[in-house]
Amino acid sequence: MLRKFGIIAVLSLMALALAAVPALAVTSTPENGTITGRTGGLHFVGTPQVFATLTSNSTFLTATGEVAGAGSTGGTADLSATAEVTRGCINRGSQGQEPSGLQRSTTLASGTTTFDTTRNGRGRFNVSTTPITIGSFTCPDQMRPTLVSVTYSNISLTVESQTGTTTATFPNITLSL
């Protein structure tokens, strides 16, 4: 009986400890793109997807997909968006409270990757934007700077190869810690 009580006590403490841990990272659900342009024979296979990741220190977008009709020399995938980032300060003793000293800024997020193609002209890509970080944002009195939220808008993916270009756009994505 005492052993059973001890196990229940330990499990309860573990559950309490896990509930007290703040969110370290959040990732949005994948959003499907809308094909908005195409030249030449290059085209998406299925629908490209994009998702955002936000941690207390950085945020970035990632797009994935597959193309066909790309020829034999590979291609490039370019991802870009406007990011509105909110930074704030966390007091060491106030975990779980709303950050103070909120500061909003808007910046361009972008990234490029190259991909290989098979002999059938198909290629898969996975491209992420360069992470947006806390940067030079500082906080007073030993408070900890943190990224509070991000909204990505004007999200655009352009894939290029020797045979043409294809473009997709995506809905806005908002994440908060």
Helix (H) or strand (E) holding 4: helix 2-20
Residue 114 in any domain: the answer is yes
Predicted confidence pLDDT, tens digits, the chain (177 residues): 545 444 444 444 344 333 333 446 899 999 999 999 999 999 999 999 999 999 999 999 999 999 999 999 999 999 999 999 999 888 766 666 666 678 899 999 999 999 999 988 999 999 999 999 988 888 888 788 889 999 999 999 999 999 999 999 999 999 998
Helix (H) or strand (E) holding 174: strand 173-176
The number of distinct structural domains making up the chain is 1
Q: Furthest-apart CA pair in the chain: how many Å? A: 74
Residue 79 in any domain: the answer is yes
Residue 136 in any domain: the answer is yes
Residue 20 pLDDT: 35
Q: End-to-end CA distance of the chain, in Å?
A: 42
pLDDT digits (tens, 9 = 90+) for 21-37: 344 689 999 999 999 99
- For residues 164 and 41, the answer to whether their CB atoms sit within 8 Å is yes
- For residues 103 and 86, the answer to whether their CB atoms sit within 8 Å is yes
Structure tokens at 71: 């020829």
Residue 8 in any domain: the answer is no
Range of the domain at 86: 24-176
Residue 1 in any domain: the answer is no
What is each CA distance from 89 to 4, 80, 139, in whole angstroms? 43, 28, 6
Residue 15 in any domain: the answer is no
Residue listed under structure tokens 């990234």: 111
Residue 10 in any domain: the answer is no
CA atoms within 13 A on the CB side of 135: 13
Task: Report pTM.
Answer: 0.82
Residue 25 pLDDT: 84
Residue 70 in any domain: the answer is yes
